[in-house]
Amino acid sequence: MLWLTSTLHHLFIPSHRNNFRAKLLHLDFLIVLIAAATLLSFGTGWLEKTEILGIAQDIRIEKLFQLTNEARQSQGLPPLHYSNQLAHAAENKAQHMITNNYWAHFGSGRSPWDFILASGYSYEVAGENLAKGFMFSEGVVDGWRNSSTHWANITKAEYDDVGFAVMNGALEGEETTLVVQMFGKRLAQEQPVEPKDEKQLADVGLIKPAQASGVESTAAASAVQPKGENDFVPATIKNSWQISINTLAFSLSTALFGLLLVVLLVDLVMAHRFGIIRLTGKNIAHVIFIATLIIGLYFIKNGGLIL
């Protein structure tokens, strides 16, 4: 216990033993921290590529589904059912955006309704939310919550079903994670149908959707014959050994900056209390710098939305 106290004293508090500057702020220790940070930076990339450990996606469909329904229930709305067809439409939309390098609801001659109809889902009303570059599922739904148009889609009472796609890819020159959320309500008295070839869309009577906020549409009757769809709830990942790389990197980054902030403040206060006069960098300036980076982590964690 005495050893621990002595070590903490040496690391955090200026004294004759550490040349009147917290050891954690010495140049040699900063080099050690840089080496550790370098390991973190390259190690996380290596872990992702080698797949030695089970790597979990930080943005998970089951989590998005759960958070979406919790958001609806907080507004007194019934939960949405998970639709494989809307999920299929969302996957196709995500892949289409990556292949054709665009980030928009309407792009490369296709609309969200094209993908929904091609999946075999004939809708009375439908909608789409998009997100990219987020690190965590909670951030995605919070981002949608804070946007009136996206929130309007999530809390639209008319929707019955939802489907998600989460896809990694290069978009506009950057590796990113896309999230596509498709909403829908089936046409009345219609059963779900098998997904069809996109080229068969031509015989579907489609009303051109209005360019409303949050991107929603109503459509006339479809010529497709209904069939059954097995609505299924995505399975929850139960493997406790899986490591979320983004969570690991983010947590370690926050911890490192937090530690630096604490040691700078403690060193500043204790040096003043002991009346130490010394030639060092300005702790106040370092505190402003590190505090800015900690706030910056919030912006890095949250990605972008499209209106």
DSSP per residue over 235-294, as a string?
A: PPP--TT-EEHHHHHHHHHHHHHHHHHHHHHHHHHHHHHTT-------HHHHHHHHHHHH
Position among 94, 116, 180, 260 found at the interface with another protein (CB under 8 A): 260
Is residue 273 at the binding interface for another protein, with CB under 8 A as the rule? yes
* Contact pattern for another protein over residues 176 through 215, marking x by CB under 8 A: x---------------------------------------
Is residue 282 at the binding interface for another protein, with CB under 8 A as the rule? yes
Q: Smaller CB distance to another protein: residue 33 or 243?
A: 33
SS3 200: helix
Is residue 280 at the binding interface for another protein, with CB under 8 A as the rule? yes
Do 140 and 192 contact (CB within 8 A), yes or no? no
Show the tokens assigned to 257: 């900056």
SS3 205: coil
Is residue 288 at the binding interface for another protein, with CB under 8 A as the rule? yes
Query: How many Å apart are CA 146 and CA 131, to the nearest integer?
Result: 13
Position among 3, 228, 275, 277 found at the interface with another protein (CB under 8 A): 275
Position among 76, 173, 205, 228 found at the interface with another protein (CB under 8 A): 173
User: Nearest CA to 181 among 226, 229, 221, 216?
Assistant: 216
Instruction: Give residues 111-140 in contact with another protein (rule: CB under 8 A).
Output: 132-135
Is residue 53 at the binding interface for another protein, with CB under 8 A as the rule? no
Is residue 162 at the binding interface for another protein, with CB under 8 A as the rule? no
Query: How many Å apart are CA 241 and CA 223, to the nearest integer?
Result: 49
Is residue 34 at the binding interface for another protein, with CB under 8 A as the rule? yes
Position among 38, 74, 108, 168 found at the interface with another protein (CB under 8 A): 38
CB of 9 to another protein, least distance (A): 19
84-93 as b/e, with b when 16 or more CB fall inside 10 Å?
Answer: bbbbbbbbbb
Query: How many Å apart are CA 268 and CA 262, to the nearest integer?
Result: 10
- In this chain, which stretch among 39-47, 90-98, 147-155, 204-212 interacts with another protein, using CB under 8 A? 39-47
Tokens 């993908």 label which residue? 115
Is residue 233 at the binding interface for another protein, with CB under 8 A as the rule? no
Q: Smaller CB distance to another protein: residue 46 or 232?
A: 46
Q: Smaller CB distance to another protein: residue 52 or 277?
A: 277
Q: Smaller CB distance to another protein: residue 225 or 292?
A: 292
Among left, alpha and beta (phi > 0; psi -120 to 50; other), residue 233 is beta
Query: How many Å apart are CA 231 and CA 123, to the nearest integer?
Result: 16
- The footprint of another protein (CB under 8 A) covers 25, 27, 30-31, 33-34, 37-38, 40-41, 44, 132-135, 173-176, 246, 249-250, 252-253, 256-257, 260, 268-269, 272-273, 275, 279-282, 284-286, 288-290, 292-293, 295-297, 299-300, 302-305
